[in-house]
């Protein structure tokens, strides 16, 4: 379990096995230390981004004609360009006229790590997120073995991707093959110890039917200094009981709108966060449908650079037509604004609906609900870091913080949708060209080809190009004369 190896003979576990003792011994609590250690990937050198507008998320601060100096993977200086001394050994990149903001933090990011036991050398899903400026992710439901393996591989520099955090496998309360039985406090404590051992700092309490079961999980989390993100979006009174009981946050939108002062006051006083995942908002037509209807997603070249084309075509080319006044997510977005104004920490969660671009949709929908562009951007950055307990290191552009940032061609304060027009992405001090995801800056490295870019990819299926959609896929015999 985690960094320790445990072994136990069957006869010391079951009395019916031949040779079993009269009394079965207790469970071992200490195993053999595996001792496998890898160095965390940290780039060398200094890099200055000079001349840009800096949206720092340090209050409402916006620095015009600013410079950020990064050494290794931390910000060491930031301010107006004439106040920042750039060392002679630093590489300087002129980003005059551009706008820089912190990297996006997606706290409800399902990235499909998968449970098939196969790890690719590189993941197009991770590249898609990075290319759109998502530098930190938290997945509140994934395969334990795979997601923490990938998290460590990214941390060690063996894979390129955003920072990956996760609850691992959910603590599922309904019947099923992976039900987490919680009948008493010791059950909850056992489950959380197991998850913490493999690398989780959070767990997801999902469909635990009784309130006392959910409370036992919360109590165990407090003892082990972990966080509990429950599955929200259920009955309204169910969500309110979660808020009263001290969960870290509510994942998914509450399906009742509007909310009144009694709810906003209670929610703010509880210090429970809110991740509405407007792309899949409950109580009406999901928010993602608005963007599939209003924009030609299949023509987004940045997206196509990092997605197998059939996945885009299958979802975007044959779209529904919905009257604008029938999109219920707008009311959910207004609720998020009301809660934010009351002091609730509202943060971005894109639910893995459309890797990378979906995070921008979520941010834009915050603005549709009444948030200013700066408020929406803060929910997508600093609020996410606060929600994960990482705001001392992430979420804003300040000296001492990790160098995760986005360089945009235009100003999202003027138009929030400018957030997707990204020139460069920096994650952990490494700078990437967002169009190609080739590493630039002090360490130049070209991205390897994806499987559909390989010249030997089968022509039986059209993986790329702008003309043929998913529905026109051909069998391999079509090329035979």
Q: What would the DSSP string read from start to end of 310-369?
A: HHHHHHHSS-----GGG-THHHHHHHHHHHHHHT--B----TTSSTTHHHHHHHHHHHHT
Q: What is the pLDDT of residue 28?
A: 77
Domain count, the chain: 2
Can you tell me the distance from the alpha carbon of 306 to that of 457, in angstroms, rounded to the nearest whole number? 16
More confident residue, 406 or 25: 406
Q: What is the pLDDT of residue 114?
A: 64
Is the residue at 253 inside a domain? Answer: yes
Percent over 70 (pLDDT), the chain: 94
Q: What is the pLDDT of residue 81?
A: 98
Positive or negative: CA dihedral 280, 281, 287, 289: positive
Is the residue at 57 inside a domain? Answer: no
Q: Which residues of 408-447 are buried (b: 16+ CB within 10 A; e: fewer)?
A: bebbbbeebbbbbbbbbbbbbbbbbbbeebebbbbeeeeb
Q: Does pLDDT of 470 surpass 50?
A: no
Q: Does pLDDT of 303 surpass 50?
A: yes
> Are 207 and 284 members of one domain?
yes
Confidence of residue 33 (pLDDT cuts 50, 70, 90): confident
Q: How far is CA 322 from the centre of its chain?
A: 29
Strands 62-71 and 74-80, how do they pair? antiparallel
Instruction: Give backbone dihedrals phi and psi of 153, rounded to 5 degrees, phi first.
Output: -65, -40
Most confident of 307-321, 365-379, 437-451: 365-379
CATH number where 257 lies: 3.20.20.140
> Are 29 and 136 members of one domain?
no
More confident residue, 34 or 59: 59
Instruction: Give backbone dihedrals phi and psi of 205, rounded to 5 degrees, phi first.
Output: -85, 115
> Are 337 and 198 members of one domain?
yes
> Are 11 and 119 members of one domain?
no
Is the residue at 132 inside a domain? Answer: yes
Domain containing 218: what range?
A: 104-400
Q: Which residues are 32's β-sheet partners?
A: 5
Count of alpha carbons within 13 Å of 145, Cβ hemisphere only?
6
Is the residue at 98 inside a domain? Answer: no
Could you tell me if 344 and 273 are in contact, meaning their C-beta atoms sit under 8 angstroms apart? yes
- Domain-ending residue, one of 369, 400, 431: 400
Confidence of residue 8 (pLDDT cuts 50, 70, 90): confident
What's the first-to-final CA gap in the chain, in angstroms? 57
Q: Does pLDDT of 40 surpass 60?
A: yes
Is the residue at 416 inside a domain? Answer: no
Confidence of residue 471 (pLDDT cuts 50, 70, 90): very low
| Mean predicted lDDT score pLDDT of the chain | 92
Q: What is the pLDDT of residue 459?
A: 63
Give CA angle at 103 (101, 107), nearest 5°: 135
Q: Does pLDDT of 11 surpass 60?
A: yes
Quick: pLDDT tens for 146-197.
999 999 999 999 999 999 999 999 998 888 888 899 999 999 999 999 999 9
Can you tell me the distance from the alpha carbon of 93 to that of 438, in angstroms, rounded to the nearest whole number? 16
Q: How far is CA 465 from the centre of its chain?
A: 29
- Domain-ending residue, one of 400, 429, 462: 400
> Are 294 and 161 members of one domain?
yes
> Are 139 and 265 members of one domain?
yes
> Are 126 and 25 members of one domain?
no
More confident residue, 7 or 430: 430
Quick: pLDDT tens for 352-362.
999 999 999 99
Q: What is the pLDDT of residue 230?
A: 92
Can you tell me the distance from the alpha carbon of 306 to that of 470, in angstroms, rounded to the nearest whole number? 17
- Domain-ending residue, one of 400, 431, 457: 400
Is the residue at 465 inside a domain? Answer: no
Q: Does pLDDT of 348 surpass 90?
A: yes
Q: Does pLDDT of 474 surpass 80?
A: no
Is the residue at 385 inside a domain? Answer: yes
Can you tell me the distance from the alpha carbon of 111 to that of 130, in angstroms, rounded to the nearest whole number? 12
> Are 157 and 12 members of one domain?
no
Q: What is the pLDDT of residue 478?
A: 28
| 9-23, 277-291, 333-347: segment of lowest average pLDDT | 9-23
> Are 226 and 338 members of one domain?
yes
Other CB atoms within a 10 A radius of the CB of residue 344 amount to 24
Confidence of residue 119 (pLDDT cuts 50, 70, 90): confident
Is the residue at 60 inside a domain? Answer: no
Q: Does pLDDT of 234 surpass 80?
A: no
């Amino acid at each position: 379990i985690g960094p320790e190896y445990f072994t136990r003979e069957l006869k010391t576990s079951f009395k019916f096995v031949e040779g079993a003792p009269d009394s079965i011994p207790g469970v071992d609590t200490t195993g053999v230390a595996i001792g496998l250690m890898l160095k965390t990937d940290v780039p060398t050198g200094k890099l200055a981004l000079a001349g840009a507008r800096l949206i720092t998320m340090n209050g409402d601060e916006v620095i015009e004609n600013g410079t950020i100096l990064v050494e290794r993977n931390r910000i060491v200086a930031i301010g107006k360009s004439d106040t920042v001394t750039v060392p002679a050994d630093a590489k300087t990149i002129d980003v005059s006229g551009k706008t820089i903001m912190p990297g996006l933090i997606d706290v409800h990011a399902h990235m499909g790590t998968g449970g098939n036991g196969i790890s690719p050398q590189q993941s197009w899903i991770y590249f898609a997120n990075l290319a759109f400026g998502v530098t930190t992710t938290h997945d509140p439901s994934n395969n334990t073995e795979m997601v923490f393996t990938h998290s460590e591989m990214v941390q060690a520099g063996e894979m390129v991707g955003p920072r990956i955090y996760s609850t691992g496998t959910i603590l599922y309360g309904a019947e099923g093959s992976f039900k987490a039985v919680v009948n008493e406090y010791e059950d909850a404590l056992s489950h959380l110890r197991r998850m913490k051992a493999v690398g989780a700092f959070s767990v997801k309490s999902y469909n635990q039917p009784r309130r006392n079961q959910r409370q036992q999980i919360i109590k165990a989390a407090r003892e082990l200094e972990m966080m509990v993100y429950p599955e929200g979006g259920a009955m309204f009174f169910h969500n309110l009981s979660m808020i009263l009981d001290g969960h870290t946050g509510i994942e998914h939108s509450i399906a009742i709108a509007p909310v009144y002062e009694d709810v906003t006051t209670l929610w703010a006083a509880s210090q429970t966060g809110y991740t509405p995942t407007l792309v899949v908002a409950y109580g009406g037509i999901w928010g993602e449908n608005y963007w599939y209807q209003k924009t030609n997603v299949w023509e987004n070249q940045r997206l196509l650079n990092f997605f197998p084309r059939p996945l885009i075509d299958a979802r975007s080319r044959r779209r529904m037509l919905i009257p604008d006044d029938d999109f219920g997510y707008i009311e959910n977005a207004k609720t998020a604004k009301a809660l934010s104004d009351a002091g609730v920490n509202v943060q971005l969660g894109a639910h893995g609906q459309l890797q990378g671009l979906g995070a921008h949709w979520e941010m834009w929908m915050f603005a549709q609900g009444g948030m200013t562009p700066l408020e929406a951007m803060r929910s997508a950055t600093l609020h996410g870091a606060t929600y994960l307990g990482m705001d001392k290191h992430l979420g804003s552009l300040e000296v001492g913080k990790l160098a995760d940032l986005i360089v945009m061609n235009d100003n999202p304060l003027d138009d929030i949708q400018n957030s997707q027009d990204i020139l460069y992405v920096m994650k952990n001090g490494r700078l990437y060209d967002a169009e190609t995801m080739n590493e630039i800056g002090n360490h130049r490295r070209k991205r390897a080809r994806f499987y559909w870019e390989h010249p030997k990819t089968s022509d039986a299926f059209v993986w790329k190009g702008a003309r043929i959609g998913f529905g026109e896929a051909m069998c391999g015999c079509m090329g035979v004369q």
